[in-house]
Amino acid sequence: MANKTKNLFWNREAETMPASEKKRVQLERLQATVKRAYENVPFYRRAFDEKGVKPEDVKSLEDLKRLPFTVKNDLRDNYPYKLFAVPMSRVVRLHASSGTTGKPIVGAYTRNDMEVWMEVIARSMAAAGVTEDDIVHNAYGYGLFTGGLGFHYGAEKIGASVVPVSGGLSKRQVMLWQDFRPTVLCCTPSYALVLAETMEEMGVGLNDICLRVGLFGAEPWTDQMRREIESRLGLEAFNQFGLTELIGPGVSAECICHNGMHIQDDHFLPELIDPETGETLEYGQKGELVLTSLTKEAFPVIRYRTKDITTIDPEPCPCGRTTVRMMRLAGRSDDMLIIRGVNVFPSQIEGVILEQKELVPQYQIVVERQRNLDQIEVQVEAVDELYQKDESEILRVTGRVQKALNQTLGITARVVIVPPRSIARSEGKARRVIDRRNLT
Ligand code: ADP
Ligand code: ZN
């Protein structure tokens, strides 16, 4: 996709801070966060005491290693309000993760936390070339999910015109693209594909819309999927990363160089660890991302284990930003499927599917255990032209895809090509994996 966007900064001073100055700011903020958490949150006080560390022990950024980790279960155990470091009277907003199993994760924001959130999303949007002249079609879900309201407030901060559409009613969304003429689309990458498909079904072409920039995130997606979305919607796609535990979207985002996502590291301090041993890894190695909030008041998080696997590149980016960059996620350590002892990431399967022109990138991975043996089945949609052909042609494609999958995964996966539009579409995060094994 040709580069149609300008390199813009929302907060040039913060985003281009020299390394030594950055370290000073990070340490100062880390010390304040640790003190606030220790003094106000019984959970943190206990965890620090158990490790025999005190807030005063944090004398350099290196000392971060001495602090205890926080994991998702700690957040669940303290549901809903027990990790807050301020009285409820100072909380102006609550959000929660979708949490398909068990209790959701609750996020809380003081007025100042809201300012920080808008700031980091405004930086992410500006890095993609969004300005006050843009019309932003926001199809992230509104409500408890941080995506909708997060991008909404960030776009308003920039001064863009926000269309708060939320997810769903896809035909109406495409109608609004034609009538309201938005230039920026915000949604999950899987929903972007649904909208592309809807647009094609309605006979609406690229000349009928004027989308220029896409801000996609909240779920894993591949580079091939990016190219697919870019060509079908005629826009330049920018990866957006965040999580409810930290703030929601705005933790990191791509700039026009598309070489990883800039972490807003004056607000979120990143580390990489070995997910097995918990040992700190050097930037550049592949490991689990651990994040510490540096400015959050209502809900400080210390060394939160995201389970997201990535690497970090600390080299300054050609765009001029000095904020470190995290690479596209290689999956979540806990989303990783272990099939007959082999680690399988859904993104690998998606990569193979996207290479096949007879297939639509709508798929589901079903894992079952038959006679103690794991079986993996990939159900994927055919394009109309393939489905109209006779069965032998479908079988030929099935065989070819199966071979490609086996080569990539190192295990045998059954492939089933299903009719066009038969896999349920999602308006938010797609549910790609159905694991029918009872592993707990
Ligand atoms: P939930 O999914 O439980 O509602 P969140 O919305 O906070 O919670 O999800 C955060 C998680 O979503 C991250 O830890 C990460 O695994 C995933 N995620 C968010 N953005 C991206 C992205 N751009 N690429 C890949 N995964 C992402
Ligand atoms: Zn950059």
Structural domain range at position 4: 1-332
Ligand lying nearest the CA atom of residue 252: 1
Ligand 1 neighbour 308 (Cβ under 6 A): yes
Ligand 1 neighbour 72 (Cβ under 6 A): no
Closest CA to 265 of 8, 28, 25, 61: 25
Ligand 1 neighbour 140 (Cβ under 6 A): no
Q: Are residues 315 and 385 in the same domain?
A: no
Ligand 1 neighbour 421 (Cβ under 6 A): no
Burial class for 276, CB neighbours closer than 10 Å (0-12, 13-18, 19+): exposed
* pLDDT higher than 90, residue 2: no
In a domain, 45, yes or no: yes
Q: Are residues 120 and 172 in the same domain?
A: yes
Chain position carrying tokens 């025999």:
52
Q: Are residues 12 and 152 in the same domain?
A: yes
Using DSSP's 3-state secondary structure scheme, residue 148 falls into helix
What per-residue confidence (pLDDT) applies to 99?
A: 55
Neighbouring residues of 62: CB distance < 8 A, sequence distance ≥ 6 = none
* pLDDT higher than 70, residue 289: yes
Using DSSP's 3-state secondary structure scheme, residue 241 falls into strand
pLDDT tens digits, one per residue of 343-360: 788 888 999 999 999 999
What span, in angstroms and rounded, lies between the C-alpha atoms of 209 and 72?
42
In a domain, 440, yes or no: no
Distance 4 CA to ligand 2 centre (A): 16
What span, in angstroms and rounded, lies between the C-alpha atoms of 159 and 352?
40
Per-residue tokens: 69: 């980790």
Name the strands in the sheet holding 304-310, side by side, starting at the edge strand that comes first in the sequence: 280-281, 268-273, 287-293, 304-310
- Rounded to whole angstroms, what are the CA distances from 23 to 157, 322, 323? 28, 12, 11
Phi, psi of 157 (to 5 degrees): -60, -40
- Report which ligand 1 atom has the smallest distance to the Cα of 308: 16
Ligand lying nearest the CA atom of residue 127: 2
Angle ∠(248,254,259) on CA atoms, nearest 5: 135
Angle ∠(393,395,401) on CA atoms, nearest 5: 105
- Rounded to whole angstroms, what are the CA distances from 332 to 21, 283, 318, 405? 32, 18, 29, 20
Model-level pTM? 0.87
Residue bearing the bigger pLDDT, 220 or 171: 171
Q: Are residues 157 and 302 in the same domain?
A: yes
pLDDT tens digits, one per residue of 150-185: 999 999 999 999 999 999 999 999 999 999 999 999
Quick one: average pLDDT of 414-419? 96
Angle ∠(209,357,394) on CA atoms, nearest 5: 130
The tally of domains found in the chain comes to 2
* pLDDT higher than 90, residue 332: no
What per-residue confidence (pLDDT) applies to 224?
A: 86
What span, in angstroms and rounded, lies between the C-alpha atoms of 31 and 192?
41
Ligand lying nearest the CA atom of residue 309: 1
Average pLDDT, the chain: 93
Q: Are residues 323 and 369 in the same domain?
A: no
Residue nearest to atom 11 of ligand 1 (CA): 243
What per-residue confidence (pLDDT) applies to 104?
A: 85
What per-residue confidence (pLDDT) applies to 102?
A: 61
Would you list the DSSP string of 111-131?
Answer: HHHHHHHHHHHHHHHHHTT--
Ligand lying nearest the CA atom of residue 219: 1
Quick one: average pLDDT of 18-26? 98
* pLDDT higher than 60, residue 3: no
Helix (H) or strand (E) holding 405: helix 391-409
Residue among 105, 121, 243 to mutate when testing ligand 1 (max atoms within 8 A of CB):
243
* β partners of residue 281: 272
In a domain, 173, yes or no: yes
Residue nearest to atom 8 of ligand 1 (CA): 97
Percent of the chain residues past pLDDT 90, beyond the cut: 81
Ligand 1 neighbour 306 (Cβ under 6 A): yes
Distance 218 CA to ligand 1 centre (A): 4
Q: Average the pLDDT over each of 48-62, 266-280, 404-418 and give the range with the smallest value.
A: 404-418
Identify the CATH number of the domain in which residue 379 sits: 3.30.300.30
Ligand 1 neighbour 362 (Cβ under 6 A): no
Q: Are residues 30 and 169 in the same domain?
A: yes
* pLDDT higher than 70, residue 100: no
* pLDDT higher than 90, residue 265: yes
- Report which ligand 1 atom has the smallest distance to the Cα of 104: 3
Query: Which pLDDT band, with edges at 50, 70 and 90, does 31 fall under?
Result: very high
What per-residue confidence (pLDDT) applies to 1?
A: 44
Distance 51 CA to ligand 2 centre (A): 38
pLDDT tens digits, one per residue of 120-139: 999 999 999 999 999 999 99
What per-residue confidence (pLDDT) applies to 439?
A: 60
In a domain, 220, yes or no: yes
What span, in angstroms and rounded, lies between the C-alpha atoms of 95 and 156?
19
Q: Average the pLDDT over each of 189-193, 339-343, 392-396 and give the range with the smallest value.
A: 339-343
